[in-house]
Each structure stands twice: as C-alpha cells, then as structure tokens.
Amino acid sequence: MTKSSNAHKKLNLLQVYRGIAALLVVMFHINQMSTERLNQVTFFNLFQAGWSGVDYFFVLSGFIMVYVYCRLCSVGLSVR
C-alpha cells in the first residue's frame, strides 16, 4: 500500500466521522422538536448531547481543509 493511498483512506474515515457528527445534530433536532411540539420524548433522550456534534463536525472540517491545503503546498501547487 502506498503512502498516498493510506492517507486517502484515513481522509475518507474522517469524512465518515463528519457524517456521523452531522447525523447526531439532525437526531438532536428531531428529538427537540418532538419534545416541544408533540410533547413526547423520542429516542429515549439518547441524543441530548447531539449539539456537541456541531463542534465535532467543524473541528474535523477544519482539520481536513488544513490537511489538504498543506499537501497541495508541499507538492508546489498554489491555492488561489
């Protein structure tokens, strides 16, 4: 396995983690809306801390952007 394909697989795994974080946020909002509008708790409050998915999503997104930018700069490509 080459170094490039290994890095690509790790980046894909981070994309999966971003997707999970986004789903946590969506489930949190569904839970909040059902509690407020329907006056019943869905998902047994499993997603009470779903708001932390926003922070997790943005941290991962920032890391991915910096990682890609640094790789482009190290190859000699300019980012404009």
2-37 tens-digit pLDDT = 666 676 777 889 999 999 999 988 888 888 888 888
The C-alpha atoms of residue 42 and residue 34 are separated, in whole angstroms, by 7
* 9-35 burial code (b ≥16 CB/10 A, e <16): eeeeeeeeebeebeebbebbeebeeee
The C-alpha atoms of residue 74 and residue 80 are separated, in whole angstroms, by 15
- Predicted TM-score (pTM) of the model is 0.70
The C-alpha atoms of residue 80 and residue 73 are separated, in whole angstroms, by 11
Q: CB of 57 within 8 A of CB of 18?
A: yes
